[in-house]
């Protein structure tokens, strides 16, 4: 950590094949075992397969195989209108449907040049940060479950998640597939009662995070299994296009909320946690700290939310035909950079609709992180990447 | 072969418990249906939420979710079955030990759901394996999954042990394993299992 | 960050022989792109990544696009021999006559790249690469040696569009199964006949039902006789 990662990557880039995974030699005794971990396996991340070549318990080669949930979302979007694709974006990263909605609405607003009223921007921030909190808590719960804490941290995380899902349900009508953002604002306004309920839940969240951390932060099993494991060098992370908490745990200060200044994030004071040791424990700590920062943003947003319309009055909902052109809109989703690339040819449906999936690209370095480790650690490293198969396969 | 309810209650007041072997057997079976931990997509998250403290599927007898198909009684197909995954689903169903039940959770498992127009989406898992309970919804609420489990329990409770309508696992000649589709150049081969999913002919 | 024109000038100055064209984006988003040519694209990519001012070290998105053959009808003024009466006398005079002509502009497959800089926190720089045609010359240089994030995304474009990336370390299908033969995201992909029973078929669904029944060889149900 003496030279900043940019200098290191500039020097390394002169070497041939520096960003390829290292070659691990077997011990020389015994046969190699080829194993397919998945697509049906107890780790609750979905239908994902890893073809590993093992020397005893050590991983020599690892190739991820996916496509088991490829639901041709992009092809469907080419045949339907822009608005009709909004419910499909819910089902991409099905944990965080509201941030998916926001990313798509942002891309279409950039494509058609629409403005969003202030109250809608505040509501978007509130819902996005609530989504981030429940996503990070669930991720840590699943990670701990794979470590052997059979369900208990997951139960605590899901207890808070249920409270947040109740908020989503009373505002948007659905617990998970919210379909709430529209091009130019939000679908319905939040009542004063809803905001009061949200304030109450946000007031109780710090106590939950403290309780969660008390159980986990100094837990000897977590520390023994997560520290020093699954190290990802920052120059490789940048070159492989890693984004989100995984990138920041590798020490790279790149949070799209601070870089792109989208929405009204400039009005809120929040810090970006970075990791020093680039391992699984750092990814866990970055997520816990991001939950705390999100609580801070929520308190500020719930205090300052103005009154007003939640939908751009000039927005055309039926017969929406943006002018020909293209746009790329991205946000800091809980899993990384979620981007939508749209090409419009003036017709009601997009000519090309592309989702930039953070989970798929974060998997690029799975092999690098797992080589040389045991099979049991592969499950942990994979859990710390935090993927959702709906996004990987679309 | 059921016992008269009035007689049961009268005898019960005297401290004598009367039942038939079928009722006892079915009561034992339906009260401990262990699902297989098999989540495919978004419905899997609602399935996990059903196992958590708020909706607690354990109080209905579905105590442990077994990852291994050999140890499970029921498979909850939660999520879209794609053509790439369909052979694996059928294989897992074949590996389950009788008696086995299938709950198709969500619109995607029933008929392809919102992704029906797709080159990779299997339009319903009941094309290849028999399904006992269908739950509509996208995703269905955890309470809907609990009601589906109760429906399945009612179905199991009403199964006769002997006779023509006895279930598959008590019939030595009935088929318990279903052919696994192959992944061809353009589609799965065969596209459906006609024995399980006969296309109905409407005569008006 | 520099504007698109300045980046174009910088690329042309640094990589000799690079032919860079600007593709304007007519919509309000203002994200114009640079069209590179296939032979020098890899060198341009290395320049963009290593240039200390631009420092495009983050390849965010790699998209494939399919542009079909376009039939263009245009009105062209063509000199032709026309019989005209001039002052009562019939003469053949050469004149410019407007004619409608149809020509087919060949289609191509395209990849669009969005580059950002994590070091300088600016972006995006949008690049485009086009194949020669849609049928046999579908090769493009791979950017995986330059940015590792292209690895899976190029495999996906190969799987769904059929563009072959030269220099990719492991180019095989990623989303569809290995035996699959088509490239499904192309605009002219025909889905396999997977027809399901519809109780009240009409219009195009009825047509598809009848086609399916004819193909399978079953009789047409009385309800589907196209009343």
C205 touches chain B (CB under 8 A): no
The tens digit of pLDDT for each residue in A269-283 reads: 999 999 999 999 999
Where do the domains of chain C lie? 4-67+108-166, 70-104, 193-227
Let me know if residue A78 belongs to a domain: yes
Closest CA to A108 of A359, A367, A342, A312: A342
Question: Per-residue pLDDT averaged across C38-49, rounded?
Answer: 88
Question: Per-residue pLDDT averaged across A326-334, rounded?
Answer: 93
CATH number at residue A375: 1.10.645.10
DSSP annotation string for B24-56 = HHHHHHHTT-PEE--B-SHHHHHHHHHHSTTT-
DSSP annotation string for C19-42 = --EEE---STT---EEEPPTTTHH
Instruction: Note the Cα A115 to chain centre separation in Å.
Output: 26
Q: Is A72 close to B119, i.e. CB distance below 8 A?
A: yes
Pairing relation of β-strands B133-135 and B182-183? unpaired
Please tell me the distance in Å from B203's CA to the nearest CA on chain C: 6
Both structure tokens of A158: 């899901």
- pLDDT band per the 50, 70, 90 thresholds, residue A2: very low
Q: Scanning every residue of chain A, which has its alpha carbon at the shortest distance from the alpha carbon of C52?
A: A10
Question: How many A×C Cβ pairs under 8 Å?
Answer: 117
pLDDT of A103 reads 94
Let me know if residue A61 belongs to a domain: no
Closest CA to A41 of A384, A382, A385, A334: A382
pLDDT of C154 reads 93
Q: Which domains does chain B have, with CATH numbers?
A: 1-30 (no CATH), 33-155 (3.40.50.12280)
Best B85, B117, B199 member to test C by mutation, with max C CBs in 10 Å, is B199
Q: How many domains does chain A have?
A: 1
The CATH class of C4-67+108-166 is alpha beta
Q: Is the pLDDT of residue A230 over 60?
A: yes
CA angle A282, A285, A288 (to 5 degrees): 155
Q: Taking the model in full, what pTM does it have?
A: 0.90
Closest CA to A130 of A96, A156, A180: A96
Let me know if residue A231 belongs to a domain: yes
pLDDT of B118 reads 80
Q: Select, from the ranges A34-48, A123-137, B6-20, B86-100, the one with the highest average predicted confidence (pLDDT).
A: A123-137
Mean pLDDT of chain B: 86
Is the pLDDT higher at A196 or at A1? A196
Question: Per-residue pLDDT averaged across C190-218, rounded?
Answer: 71
Q: Is B118 close to A72, i.e. CB distance below 8 A?
A: yes
Please tell me the distance in Å from C172's CA to the nearest CA on chain A: 11
Provide the domain limits for residue A177. 73-393
Closest CA to C19 of C2, C36, C3: C36
**Cβ-nearest to C184 among B119, B203, B204:** B119
Q: Is the pLDDT of residue A215 over 60?
A: yes
pLDDT of A3 reads 41
- pLDDT band per the 50, 70, 90 thresholds, residue C224: very low
Q: Is A158 close to B38, i.e. CB distance below 8 A?
A: no
Question: Per-residue pLDDT averaged across B21-33, rounded?
Answer: 89
pLDDT of A14 reads 62
- Here the ipTM equals 0.89
pLDDT of A44 reads 59
pLDDT of C223 reads 42
Contacts of A341 in chain C (CB under 8 A): 61, 63, 112, 114
Q: Scanning every residue of chain B, which has its alpha carbon at the shortest distance from the alpha carbon of A391?
A: B41
From the DSSP assignment, how many helices (H) and strands (E) are in chain B? 6, 6
Distance CA C25, CA C20 (A): 16
Let me know if residue A42 belongs to a domain: no
Let me know if residue A271 belongs to a domain: yes
pLDDT of C225 reads 41
Reduced to 3 states (helix: H, G, I; strand: E, B; else coil), residue C188 is coil
pLDDT of A1 reads 32
The tens digit of pLDDT for each residue in A257-269 reads: 999 888 899 999 9
Question: Per-residue pLDDT averaged across C76-100, rounded?
Answer: 74
Q: Is the pLDDT of residue A161 over 90?
A: yes
Q: Is the pLDDT of residue A177 over 70?
A: yes
Asked if residues B106 and B142 have their Cβ atoms less than 8 Å apart, the reply is: no
Let me know if residue A250 belongs to a domain: yes
Distance CA C220, CA A270 (A): 67
Region of A9 (left: φ > 0; alpha: ψ -120 to 50; beta: rest) is: alpha
Q: Is the pLDDT of residue C205 over 60?
A: yes
Is the pLDDT higher at A313 or at A292? A292
Let me know if residue A22 belongs to a domain: no
pLDDT of A351 reads 93
Let me know if residue A118 belongs to a domain: yes
Please tell me the distance in Å from C67's CA to the nearest CA on chain B: 20
The tens digit of pLDDT for each residue in B34-71 reads: 998 788 888 999 999 999 889 989 899 888 888 888 99
Question: Per-residue pLDDT averaged across C118-132, rounded?
Answer: 88
C16 touches chain B (CB under 8 A): no
CA angle A47, A48, A53 (to 5 degrees): 145
């Amino acid at each position: 950590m003496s030279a900043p990662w940019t200098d290191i990557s500039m020097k390394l880039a002169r070497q041939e094949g520096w960003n390829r995974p290292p070659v691990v030699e077997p011990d020389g005794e015994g046969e190699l075992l080829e194993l397919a971990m998945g697509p049906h396996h107890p780790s609750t991340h979905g239908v994902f397969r890893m073809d590993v070549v093992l020397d005893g318990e050590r991983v020599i080669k690892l190739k991820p195989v996916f496509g088991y949930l490829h639901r041709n979302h992009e092809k469907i979007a080419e045949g339907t209108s822009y608005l009709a694709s909004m419910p499909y974006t819910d089902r991409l990263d099905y944990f965080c449907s509201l941030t998916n909605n926001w990313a798509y609405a942002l891309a279409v607003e950039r494509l058609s040049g629409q403005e969003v009223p202030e109250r809608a921007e505040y509501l978007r921030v509130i819902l996005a940060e609530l989504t981030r909190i429940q996503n990070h808590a669930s991720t840590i719960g699943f990670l701990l479950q794979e470590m052997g804490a059979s369900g208990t941290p997951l139960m605590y995380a899901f207890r808070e998640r249920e409270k947040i899902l109740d908020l989503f349900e009373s505002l948007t009508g659905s617990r998970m597939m919210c379909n709430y953002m529209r091009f130019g604002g939000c679908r319905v306004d939040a009542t004063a009662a809803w905001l009061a309920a949200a304030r109450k839940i946000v007031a109780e969240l710090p106590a939950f995070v403290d309780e969660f951390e008390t159980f986990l932060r100094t837990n000897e099993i977590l520390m023994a299994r997560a520290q020093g494991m699954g190290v990802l060098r920052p120059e490789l992370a940048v070159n492989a296009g890693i984004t989100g908490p995984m990138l920041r745990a590798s020490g790279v200060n790149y949070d799209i909320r601070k870089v792109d200044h989208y929405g009204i994030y400039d009005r809120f004071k929040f810090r970006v946690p970075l990791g020093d040791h680039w391992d699984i424990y750092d990814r866990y700590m970055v997520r816990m700290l991001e939950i705390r920062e999100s609580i801070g943003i929520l308190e500020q947003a719930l205090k300052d939310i103005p009154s007003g319309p939640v939908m751009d009055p000039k927005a055309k909902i039926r017969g929406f035909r943006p002018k020909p052109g293209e746009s790329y809109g991205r946000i800091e989703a809980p899993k990384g950079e979620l981007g939508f690339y749209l090409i419009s040819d003036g017709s009601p449906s997009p000519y090309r609709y592309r989702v930039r999936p953070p989970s798929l690209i974060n998997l690029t370095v799975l092999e690098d992180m797992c080589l040389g480790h045991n099979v049991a650690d592969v499950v942990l490293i994979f859990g710390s990447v935090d993927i959702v198969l709906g996004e990987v396969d679309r | 072969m059921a016992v008269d309810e009035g007689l049961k209650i009268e005898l019960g007041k005297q401290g004598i418990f009367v039942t038939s072997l079928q009722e006892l057997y079915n009561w034992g079976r339906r009260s401990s249906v262990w699902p297989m931990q098999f989540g495919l997509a978004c419905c899997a998250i609602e399935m996990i939420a059903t196992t958590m403290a708020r909706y607690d599927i354990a109080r209905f007898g579905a105590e442990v979710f077994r990852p291994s198909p050999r140890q499970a009684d029921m498979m909850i197909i939660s999520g879209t079955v794609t053509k790439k995954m369909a052979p694996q689903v059928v294989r897992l169903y074949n590996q389950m030990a009788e008696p086995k039940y299938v709950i198709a959770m969500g619109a995607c498992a029933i008929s392809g759901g919102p992704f029906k127009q797709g080159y990779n989406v299997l339009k319903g898992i009941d094309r290849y394996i028999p399904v006992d309970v269908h739950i509509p919804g996208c995703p269905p609420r955890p309470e809907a999954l609990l009601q589906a489990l109760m429906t399945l329990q009612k179905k199991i409770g009403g199964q006769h042990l002997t006779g023509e309508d006895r279930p598959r696992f008590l019939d030595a000649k009935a088929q318990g394993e279903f052919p696994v589709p192959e992944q061809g150049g353009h589609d799965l081969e065969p596209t459906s299992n006609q024995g399980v999913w006969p296309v109905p002919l409407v005569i008006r | 960050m520099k504007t698109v024109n300045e980046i174009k000038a910088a690329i042309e100055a640094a990589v000799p022989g690079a032919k860079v064209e600007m593709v304007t984006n007519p919509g309000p988003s203002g994200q114009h792109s640079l069209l590179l040519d296939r032979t020098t694209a890899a060198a341009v990519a290395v320049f963009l990544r290593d240039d200390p001012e631009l420092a495009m070290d983050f390849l965010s998105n790699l998209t494939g696009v399919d542009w079909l053959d376009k039939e263009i009808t245009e009105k062209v003024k063509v000199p032709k021999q026309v019989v005209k009466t001039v002052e009562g006398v019939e003469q053949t005079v050469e004149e410019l006559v407007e004619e409608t002509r149809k020509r087919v502009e060949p289609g191509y497959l395209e990849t669009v790249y969005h580059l950002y800089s994590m070091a300088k926190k600016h972006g995006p720089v949008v690049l485009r690469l086009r194949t020669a045609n849609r049928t046999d010359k579908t090769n493009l240089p791979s950017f995986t040696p330059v940015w590792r994030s292209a690895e899976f995304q190029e495999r996906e474009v190969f799987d769904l569009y059929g563009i072959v990336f030269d220099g990719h370390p492991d180019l095989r299908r990623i989303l569809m199964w290995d035996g699959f033969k088509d490239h499904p995201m192309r605009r002219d992909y025909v889905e396999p006949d997977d027809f399901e029973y519809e109780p009240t078929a009409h219009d195009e669904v009825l047509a598809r039902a009848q086609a399916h029944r004819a193909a399978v060889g079953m009789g047409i149900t009385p309800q589907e006789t196209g009343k």
